[in-house]
Structure 1
Amino acid sequence: MKYGNLILEKKEYVMIKRLLTLTNDYKDSTQKVSLTKFAKEMESAEILDDDKMPDDVVRINSEITIATNDGWSYTFQVVLPAESNNSQKKISLLLPMGAAVLGYAKNDSISWTFPGGDKDITILDVKQNNITKLNIA
């Protein structure tokens, strides 16, 4: 892990904590395992102001490209649950793929549980061109 811990922007951290609190009753065991692991990783995350966030860290609305050891690769955007849309390659941060990468950086390798089983993935690229400021009251 490039930075030693997850790196999360302060307002995004608050939003994610709220979402995890409100959505803790999952019937899908893979999603439950994934979000439990993500919540545990958040406990030691480094929380930064927006202007201090490294450009290569996956955030809400980041567009990223990942690859697995078996040659599969995929480019998608990590979004809030209401914006999730598979045909537009927008993956909710509450799905295993979104939770797996949030807070990690370009070139980080991650072992995670997905619906098809455990996979090792590597983040090949991170683009912040779609970052929007979250307004959290």
Structure 2
Amino acid sequence: MGHALEMITDQDLKRILSCLRSAVLEVEILDLWEEKIEQAEIIDQNETPPDLVTIHSIVTCTEDGEGQRELEKMGHLTVVFPHEANIDEGKISLLAPLGVALLGARAGQAITWQARNGRLKSLVVDSIAYQPEANGHWHL
């Protein structure tokens, strides 16, 4: 993950913890979330910066190497709840390594995650095309 202090909204934190309690997970995902939550600044949902990736944010990203083609096919990425995940639509579960890395990142920030094949991958969050909080959509 990037060097900048990441932020997580208090509402997203409640939702993440609920997902972590109700899902059967690999230890690695639990460890990733534990580390991320310990290091993140938890902020009030009403004070969410518009360039922060939150649950249901739609982001555009660039990636170096062979992954670039995969991102171009998807167009945008959206961090979603596990039951909404669909890689073909660019909907990334918040319980997937990429979802953990994306949530709390800021536009312009580089993030890294370990792919299922064990290789480290990285991308840059170019922009936030949609963020629920910035649009007053508190229910998402």
Q: TM-score range by the shorter chain?
A: 0.7 to 0.9
Q: Indicate if the aligned counterparts of 2:132 and 2:138 stay in contact, CA closer than 8 A.
A: no
Instruction: Give the 3 Å change call, closer, same or farther, for CA 69–53 of structure 1 in structure 2.
Output: same
1:112: how far off?
Answer: 1.4
AA in 2 matched with 1:121: L
CA RMSD of aligned residues (A): 2.3
* % same residue: 25
CA distance in 1, matches of 2:58, 2:113: 19
Structure 2: runs of 5 or more not aligned? none
CA distance in 1, matches of 2:25, 2:56: 25
Are 1:37 and 2:32 matched, yes or no? Answer: yes
Q: Indicate if the aligned counterparts of 2:58 and 2:78 stay in contact, CA closer than 8 A.
A: yes
1:78: how far off?
Answer: 0.9
CA distance in 2, matches of 1:113, 1:60: 20
Alignment: residue pair count: 129
Give TM-score scaled by structure 2 length: 0.78
After superposing the two structures, state which structure 1 stretch, 35-44 or 107-116, moved more: 35-44
CA distance in 1, matches of 2:29, 2:60: 20
Are 1:58 and 2:48 matched, yes or no? Answer: no
CA distance in 2, matches of 1:105, 1:83: 23
1:134: how far off?
Answer: 4.2
Aligned to 1:104, what secondary structure does the other structure show? coil
CA distance in 2, matches of 1:33, 1:16: 15
CA distance in 2, matches of 1:127, 1:48: 21
AA in 2 matched with 1:133: W
1:80: how far off?
Answer: 0.9
Q: Indicate if the aligned counterparts of 1:109 and 1:123 stay in contact, CA closer than 8 A.
A: yes
The match for 2:86 is: 85
Q: Considering fraction of residues, name the structure with more helix.
A: 2
AA in 2 matched with 1:99: V
After superposing the two structures, state which structure 1 stretch, 88-97 or 15-24, moved more: 15-24
Aligned to 2:55, what secondary structure does the other structure show? coil
1:114: how far off?
Answer: 1.0
Give TM-score scaled by structure 1 length: 0.80
CA distance in 2, matches of 1:45, 1:113: 19
1:128: how far off?
Answer: 2.6
CA distance in 2, matches of 1:82, 1:24: 13
- Partner deviation per Cα, 1:59-96 (whole Å, 9 max, x = no partner): 00000122222261622111111211233221111112
CA distance in 1, matches of 2:132, 2:48: 15
